[in-house]
Amino acid sequence: MPELPELNPVIHGKLRLALLSLLSGVEEAEFTWLRSKTGSTDGNLGAQLLKLEEAGYVVVEKKFVQRKPQSLYRMTEAGRTALTEYVVALKQLLGGAME
Amino acid sequence: MTTDAEEMELRDRLKLIESMIAEGRRTTGSWGWTFVFWGVAYYVAIGWTAYDQNPWAWLITMVGAWVPCWLIIRYHHKNSSKPKPETTVGRAIFSIWSAMGVSMCMLFPGLGFSGRFNQHIFVAIVAAMLGVANGASGMILRWKAQIACAMVWWATSVAACFGGDNQCTVVFLVAIFLCQIVFGLYGMILEARARKLEAKNA
């Protein structure tokens, strides 16, 4: 029987998974947009985005727009690869469960 | 081997990924007003042409409408307190409509200056082009209402090849009303609902 793959723990967290999935469909997204789509709190969202940033899956650009701070998040190539691999692993696991 | 609970958990993750990707892709700007705006612009051009048969009526009205339209879009983009992210889907749709606009701006003056312009050809081409743009956008967004608009435009394009001048004008006016004014207002209502929902979740 083939060995089942392990799921990437950085992506496995529900909010982090939601964030990477959201970012996979857009060029870049602002912090407030990610918050409104996930319904998360500022603190939790910031912490999870930091973990993704530390893993190299997202990059952040901070700037000021009309004197207000704005954080723009963008998914990196490593993040896209990690998400793709996670989905493949997930499908393999589900396939194994169905056998 | 995974247990039933684990399997359910994994399926939940897969659903979460799908729903979030779809959520991101659904994010497009507020474009409903542009349909209404251009619908009114078409009516102005048709009315002006009917009033004094001015051969420049369409060109002047279209250029005249394009300038404020562009300025409004730029103003909203710059001053929005919650800028929406640019999506690949949004860029694809914007490209389709821009390419259609450029095609019209190239073709119709050419037809006019060469003296090969006539009302039936004009309505047939405009309707076919709008059918392509609405059809492509509708298929990308999987939006049945917009695909229905494309069908109306395609039917208008065929109808414009037959009948008299007055019938052609009436068919064009009805298509503009349905696919620009009604569809635009419908889009604006949906966008207002989405904004309310977003504000609730923010």
pLDDT in tens, chain A (99 residues): 456 678 899 998 899 999 999 998 788 888 988 998 888 899 999 999 999 999 999 999 988 877 778 888 999 999 999 999 999 998 888 885 544
Chain B nearest C-alpha distance from A90 (Å):
7
Sheet holding A58-65, edge to edge: A29-30, A68-75, A58-65
SS3 breakdown of chain A: % helix, strand, coil, rounded to 5? 60, 20, 20
Chain-chain contact of A32 with B82 (C-beta, under 8 angstroms): yes
- Beta-carbon separation of B24 and A29 below 8 A: yes
For the cut 80, the answer to whether the pLDDT of residue B27 exceeds it is: no
Q: Which one of B10, B16, B87, B197 would you mutate to disrupt binding with A, by most A Cβ within 10 Å of its Cβ? A: B10
The reply to whether residue B2 touches residue A96, judged by beta carbons under 8 angstroms, is: yes
Hey, is the C-beta of A14 within 8 angstroms of any chain B C-beta?
Answer: yes
Residue B16 pLDDT greater than 60, yes or no:
yes
What whole-number distance in Å separates Cα of residue B86 and Cα of residue B27? Answer: 8
Which amino acid, residue B49? T
Task: Say what the ipTM of the complex is.
Answer: 0.81
> Sign of dihedral through CA atoms B39, B40, B41, B44?
positive
Between chains, do B21 and A36 touch, taking CB under 8 Å as contact?
A: no
Residue A3's pLDDT is what? Answer: 63
- Please check whether residue B88 touches A, CB under 8 A: yes
Q: Does B9 touch chain A (CB under 8 A)?
A: no
- Two tokens, residue B33: 């007003």
pLDDT of residue B84: 63
Average pLDDT over residues B5-34: 79
Q: Which amino acid appears at position B200 of this protein?
A: K
pLDDT tens for each residue of B115-172: 887 889 999 999 999 999 999 999 988 889 999 999 999 999 999 999 899 999 999 9
List the domain boundaries for chain A: 9-91
pLDDT more than 70, % of chain A? 91
A46: three-class secondary structure by DSSP:
helix
Interface check for B89 against chain A (CB to CB < 8 A): the answer is: yes
CB B33 within 8 A of CB B184: yes
What distance lies between CA B30 and its chain's CA centroid? 11
- Taking the C-alpha atoms of residue B190 and residue B30, their distance in angstroms, rounded to an integer, is 10
A23 reaches B (C-beta below 8 A): yes
Contacts of B89 in chain A (CB under 8 A): 25
Greatest mean pLDDT among B9-13, B78-82, B131-135, B140-144: B131-135
What's the CATH number of domain A9-91, 1.10.630.10, 3.30.930.10, 1.10.10.10, 1.10.287.70? 1.10.10.10
Distances in Å between the Cα of B58 and the Cα atoms of B37, B62, B63, B122, B184 are 15, 6, 8, 11, 21
Residue B201 contacts A where some CB pair is shorter than 8 Å = yes
Q: Which of A26, A39, A94 sits opposite B24 (nearest CB)?
A: A26
Residues B83, A30: C-beta atoms closer than 8 Å: yes
In angstroms, the CA B199 to CA A40 distance is 13
Q: Are A11 and A26 in contact (CB under 8 A)?
A: no
Nearest residue in chain B measured CA to CA from A15: B16
